[in-house]
Amino acid sequence: PLAASPDRARRYSNSSSSSSGSNSSTRAALLPSRLQSREPPQPAAAAAAESATAQSAAPSLTESAEIPEEAGQSSAAVTEPPAADMRLSSACRSACCCCGLGRRARHRLAGGADFVRRHLAFALAPAACLLAVESGGLVAFAVLLLGALLGLLSLEAYLVYCRNEPPESRYFVDHPSRYGLPSQTVFLDSGRGARLHCYFIKQPGDSTRLPTLLFLHGNAGNIGHRLPNAALLFHQCRVNLFLLEYRGYGISTGAPSGTGLYADAAAALQHLSRRSDIDPQRVLLFGRSLGGAVAIELAARPETAALLSGLVLENTFTSLPEAASVLFRLPLLSSLPGLVMTNRFNSRAKMPSIRVPTLFISGLRDTLIPPAMSACLHSLCGSGVRRLETFESGEHNTTWQCAGYFQRLAGFLHFASEMAPQREDWHAGQHSEDEEDQSAGAAAAAASATSAAGGASAGTTADDIPTITVL
C-alpha cells in the first residue's frame, strides 16, 4: 500500500523520522538484547567470508556447552526463533515492517502459514471427493485416502506436541534469575541435528550430598513455564535441578517425536552422570504427564536404569491411545485412537520392567488423565519399593500446589537417594523374588493382588519412607 501511494509513503517516512528519537529508547528498553541489534544485509561474498571466519573461531559443541549465569541477572533468556519457523517471503517481511509489525507478529504469521501448509490435506479432501464422485476413478479415491491419512498424522502431532502453546513458547523462555535461582545454561547435542536447551540449578555449598532431579515436563510450553514449580522444589525439597527442554520445544532445535524425546532424556541423563559437581549416584527422574511416559521408558531400559536412584511419576497415563479414548464417549469412537495413533507411549507394558524405587503422584480432580491410570501403573510396577500418593484437590497441572505435596515428595527423594548404594543389587534381588512368586503359585498371586489394592504403598520398605517437615 505504501509503494502504491508515493505521497502516503513520504508522509510515513517523515513521521517515522520525526518520532524516531522518542520511540527508539522505548523500543530498546522493551526489546531483549538479542533482538535489539540487527545488522544491515551484507553482500553475498562478505557474508560467506564472515561465516567461514566465525565457524573457524567457534568452539566445538559436540558434547555440551555450558553458559554460567548469576542469580543477580534480570534479563530472561531469549533467543531468536529457528530459521525454519520464519519462512516468510521478502515481500511479506517488507509489508510487516512498513505496517509496524514486530518480530512477534511476524512469527505468528509464520506459524499460521505453517499450520495451513501442514493441514493442506484437509483442504484438498473435499476437492478429491468431488473428483471421485464425478469421474469414479480409483486414482482420485486413492488421493482422498492418502490426504486423509496425512491429515490425521499431522493433526496427531499437532495435538500431542503442543510446543506452540502459549504462542510465545518457541522464542521466549523465562530465566531462573527472575526467581532468584543460581543456574547454568546448558546446550546438549542429542543427534539428528537436535540441540537441546537446558537449565542446571545447583544448591549452594556441597551439592554432591544432595539428590539431583532430572525434570521432564509435559507436552506444552517450555522449561521457562516450569520455573515457579522449580523454585519451590529447589527451596523446599533441597535438591539440584536439571530442566530439560525437548527437541522442537522452546529454543531447542529439531522436531519432536517419541524416539526423539527418549533420546533427549537419555542425553541429559548421560550428561548428569559425567558431572563432577553432583553425586551421579543420587540422580532421580521426575516426569509429569507426557514426561512421565518418557521417564518410564528410561527407567525400563537396563542401561539407563543403572544410572538412576529413583523415579517420580505425576499424573501420567497408561498409554497415549488410552488417554485419548477418554475424550470420546461413544463406544465406536473410543476405539479410534488405538487404530490410527502412531505416538503410543505404551507405559502399561513397560511398568513390570522397572526396578528402581518409584513414587506415583495423582491428583484426584484430574479431568485430562484419569487418576485410575496412575493406580493401574502403580499396581503393575515391578519395583519392590513403590508408593502412591493422592491429593484430593489436585488437578492435572496444579497438583504441585496442593498442601503437603512437597513434604511427601521431599521424603521420597531423600529416602531413595540414601538407598542409591544398593541399586546394583536391585535387578538380582528382583529376579529372585520373581522366581519365588512363580513357585508360590496362586496363593502368592492372590496375596500380591490384595497388597496392591489395599493401600497407597506396596513393597517391603515402602511404608518406611519418611515425610520430611519443611520449614
pLDDT, tens digit, 9 for 90 and up, residues 120-156: 555 555 555 555 555 556 666 666 666 666 666 667 7
Residue 442 domain-assigned? no
Specify whether 345 is located in the same domain as 277. yes
Q: Output the domain CATH number for residue 276.
A: 3.40.50.1820
Specify whether 200 is located in the same domain as 285. yes
Specify whether 139 is located in the same domain as 219. no
- pLDDT tens-digit readout, 288-319: 999 999 999 999 999 999 999 999 999 999 99
- pLDDT tens-digit readout, 84-109: 443 333 444 444 444 444 444 444 44
User: 368-379: b or e for each residue (b if 16 or more CB lie within 10 Å)?
Assistant: ebbbebbbbbbb
Averaged pLDDT, 279-287: 96
| Conformation bin of residue 264: beta by default, left when phi > 0, alpha when psi is -120 to 50 | alpha
Which pLDDT band holds residue 82 (cuts at 50, 70, 90)?
very low
Specify whether 268 is located in the same domain as 133. no
Specify whether 206 is located in the same domain as 350. yes
Specify whether 154 is located in the same domain as 192. no
Q: Looking at the DSSP assignment, which residues form a beta bridge with residue 183? A: 69, 201
Check pLDDT > 70 for residue 3.
Answer: no
Q: How far is residue 338 from each of residues 148, 285, 324, 368, measured CA to CA in Å? A: 17, 28, 9, 17
> How many domains, the chain?
2
Q: Which domain holds residue 144?
A: 122-160
Most confident of 97-111, 132-146, 329-343, 351-365: 351-365
| Conformation bin of residue 289: beta by default, left when phi > 0, alpha when psi is -120 to 50 | left
Averaged pLDDT, 79-86: 42
- pLDDT tens-digit readout, 395-413: 999 999 999 999 999 999 9
Q: What is the DSSP letter of 418?
A: H
Domain boundary among 403, 419, 435: 419
Q: Looking at the DSSP assignment, which residues form a beta bridge with residue 391? A: 363
Lowest mean pLDDT among 157-171, 222-236, 264-278: 157-171
Specify whether 292 is located in the same domain as 323. yes
In contact, 323 and 369? CB cutoff 8 Å: yes
Specify whether 195 is located in the same domain as 254. yes
Domain boundary among 419, 441, 462: 419
Distance CA 271, CA 471 (A): 32
User: Which pLDDT score is estimated for 158?
Assistant: 84
Share of residues in the chain with pLDDT > 90 (%): 48
What's the pTM value of the predicted model, to 2 decimals? 0.66
Specify whether 237 is located in the same domain as 369. yes
Catalytic positions, please?
A: 289, 366, 396
